[in-house]
Amino acid sequence: MTIAEQQPFMRVRGLTKKFGGTIVLRDVDLDIWAGEVVGIAGHNGAGKSTLIKVLTGAIQPDKGEILLDGHSVKIRNRAQSEHLGFGVVDQQERLLPNLSVVENVWLGHPYPRKVYRAIDWSAMEQQILARAMELGISFPLRARGGDLLPMDQRLVEITRALLRKRRLVIFDEATSALEAQEVERFHAVLRLLKDQGVAIVLISHQLDELLKISDRLVVMREGSVVADDRVTAYDKPRLFDLVAGISWDQAMAGLQPGGRDHPSEGDVHLEIDGLTGSVLREVSFQVRQGEILGLAGLEGSGKEEVLAVLSGLERACGGTLRMDGHERPFARDVREAKRMGLALLPRDRKVAGLFGRQGLCFNMTASHLWKHRLKSWLPLVNHGSQQFYTKNTVNRLQIYGAGSDQPVDNLSGGNQQKVMFGRVIGLGPRVLLLDEPTEGIDVSARAEVFRVVRELAEQGTSVVYSANDAEELSLICTRVLVFHGGRVVAELRGGEINDARILRLTYEEQGPREYSA
């Protein structure tokens, strides 16, 4: 029997949810069949995250019902949703770094016991291995969660969500931190779950991924479902139009690969010579005023360590740093890096950035409260100055549905990232360090971020832009350094920059090349 001939085991009817005066879900209807992959696309703030929170019991709807096998159910919490056979792999769910893989997988589940109530670690390992084999995946069991590669961390999270048999599994931006070959491994897991009759809901901002892996695509905009059809009814332009409400040409106007010349006449803001670290080997480069320097490479290639050292998160083992021609020691911590004019927008906004229960205004100004004092010599906050900066930045970055005192946990993932962006801009850095700045942001919001980055560069800020997405680097950067094995193996500038060339150089093992900054 085909999916079309079956009855959906889950029906969502008329779900509506308000936060204050803002309607975030508006009469949402959704059917889910066993053994299908349902892709959900939508702009940040479209209602995707709120829908998932309702399905998992994190919040309660104001109106509407959920029918499971024809019976109305109330899902009051995460435990009840799991009892109903629902599993979730959240966008921001992370392993506890100091616990073992076994302990991380077993979080939330009762431990098996031996005599005298001792924990049966052997039984736990055997159950995890058996479930992982059923899913066609493997990872080191005895390692600590924080020591795993990103793909292995994601596989552990999947195993944790699927340790018990599930009818429905929801993946929220599950591939956002993965490399291209790792995404293929993840998709293989989805196909296996589908073959086992598990229903899958996949939320992603990657339109190509949704078109590739989904059986059916649901598009949400402003809290409503605006399209629900078989994946064959879509192509990328139509899907983008439905998601963003504008055409791709409108959203990306003026952003063409390799379309901006390298500002060779600008003053050198930052010069690195012979930087050596745990991965990096004798890396040298310059960043000029108004330049957007891209860092490309696979995970572990060294590009991540460049940002970590410059921002004060990690110590350099060797090398020299010059700011505006003056030699300086590498920053010992993040505060010292900021004083030097180096500011980082971190990749993981939940762990390294946001104060989730605090309001938008607090989060937007937390790193530069000294700019919002009543008097320069008086350590009291000028709330009017805070509100003024927040209001202007909210308008500038187009952060939707947010009051200045609204907890940022209530915002969509993309809007949370924009809050982080607004905070780091407020520091007024000479060199802005961006680590995956569009991760978890939809396609139209990405264009907004691009414009802000270019605006900052045109105002004289130097930007170091690290991203795994080769197309993203080709659209925004004036120059791209490609890392491999801790070294810079290629430099691309101007018209040389395109995503195909970046990808080829990223995956080719080669020796370092001579280049000029």
Q: Do residue 235 and residue 107 come from a single domain?
A: yes
Q: What is the CATH number of the domain that holds 113?
A: 3.40.50.300
Place of tokens 């506890």: 96
* CB distance 458 to 288 below 8 Å: no
Pair (137, 235) in one structural domain: yes
Q: How far apart are CA 158 and CA 275, in angstroms?
A: 37
Query: Does residue 222 form part of some domain?
Result: yes
Question: Would residue 391 count as lying in a domain?
Answer: no
- Residue 397 located in a structural domain: no
Decide: 289 and 459 in contact? Cβ < 8 Å: no
Q: Give the Cα separation of 408 and 85 in Å (integer).
A: 30
Distance CA 291, CA 263 (A): 6
Do residues 183 and 215 make contact, with C-beta atoms less than 8 angstroms apart?
no
Tell me how far apart the alpha carbons of residues 124 and 140 are, in angstroms, rounded to a whole number.
14
pLDDT of residue 262: 53
Is residue 497 one of the residues assigned to a domain? yes
Q: Please check whether residues 274 and 174 belong to one and the same domain.
A: no
| Beta-sheet pairing, 22-32 with 10-19 | antiparallel
Whether residue 247 is found in the same domain as residue 206: yes
Element (H, E) at 394: helix 383-397
Q: Do 19 and 119 lie in a common domain?
A: yes
Would you say 73 and 84 are in contact if contact means Cβ atoms under 8 Å apart? Answer: yes
Place of tokens 């004092």: 373
CB half-sphere exposure, 351, CA atoms < 13 A: 11
Q: Is 422 helix (H, G, I), strand (E, B) or coil?
A: helix
Q: Which helix (H) or strand (E) holds 183?
A: helix 180-195
Tell me how long the chain is: 517
Q: Which domain holds residue 306?
A: 266-341+429-517
pTM of the model: 0.59
Judge if 33 and 109 occupy the same domain. yes
In a domain, 352, yes or no: no
Containing H/E element for 375? strand 373-375
- pLDDT tens for each residue of the chain, 517 residues long: 455 447 899 999 999 998 766 788 999 999 999 999 999 988 766 888 889 889 988 889 999 999 999 999 999 888 888 889 898 887 655 678 888 888 888 887 788 888 778 888 888 888 888 888 887 778 888 888 888 877 788 788 888 888 888 899 998 877 765 666 778 888 888 888 899 899 999 988 778 889 999 999 999 988 899 999 999 999 888 887 888 776 656 555 544 454 445 555 678 889 999 999 888 889 999 999 999 999 998 767 889 899 999 999 888 889 999 998 899 999 988 889 988 999 898 876 555 567 666 777 777 777 776 677 777 776 777 777 777 788 887 887 777 655 666 677 777 766 777 888 888 888 888 999 999 888 766 666 777 788 888 888 998 899 999 988 788 898 899 999 999 878 898 899 888 888 778 877 875 544 334 333 3
Directed axis angle between helix 413-425 and helix 383-397, to 10°? Answer: 120
Q: Which of 198, 227, 251 is the last residue of a domain?
A: 251
- Burial of 371 from C-beta contacts in 10 A (0-12 / 13-18 / 19+): middle
Q: Of 251, 278, 304, which residue is a domain's last?
A: 251
- Whether 378 is covered by a domain: the verdict is no
Q: What is the pLDDT of residue 401?
A: 57
User: Can you name the residues that pair with 73 across neighbouring β-strands?
Assistant: 66
- For residue 254, the model assigns a pLDDT of 47
What is the pLDDT, as a whole number, of residue 178? 66
Residues 30 and 127 reside in one and the same domain: yes
Give CA–CA dist 93/95, Å, rounded.
Answer: 7
Structural domain includes residue 437: yes
* 26 and 149, same domain (yes or no): yes
Query: Which of the listed residues 200, 226, 251 is the one where a domain comes to its end?
Result: 251
pLDDT at 481: 94
Contact 422, 393 (CB under 8 A): yes
Helical (H) or strand (E) element with 462 = strand 462-466
**What pLDDT, on the 0 to 100 scale, is given for residue 265?**
62
Contact 42, 221 (CB under 8 A): yes
What type of residue sits at position 150? P
CA distances, 237 to each of 44, 215, 443, 500 (Å): 18, 18, 12, 21
The reply to whether 141 and 237 lie within a common domain is yes
Same domain, yes or no: 100 and 156: yes
| The pLDDT value given to residue 91 | 63
What is the side-by-side order of every strand in the sheet holding 199-203?
A: 86-89, 168-172, 199-203, 37-42, 216-221, 224-230
**3-class state of residue 36 by DSSP:** coil
Q: DSSP states of 72-84 as a string?
A: EE---SHHHHHHT
Order of strands, edge to edge, in the sheet holding 283-288?
Answer: 283-288, 268-276, 318-323, 326-328
Domain co-membership, 283 together with 188: no
CA distance 208 to 187: 13
Tokens 């159950």 locate to 127
Number of domains within the chain:
2
What is residue 170's three-state secondary structure? Answer: strand
329 and 441 part of one domain: yes
Residue 390 lies in a domain: no
Q: Are strands 86-89 and 168-172 parallel, antiparallel or unpaired?
A: parallel
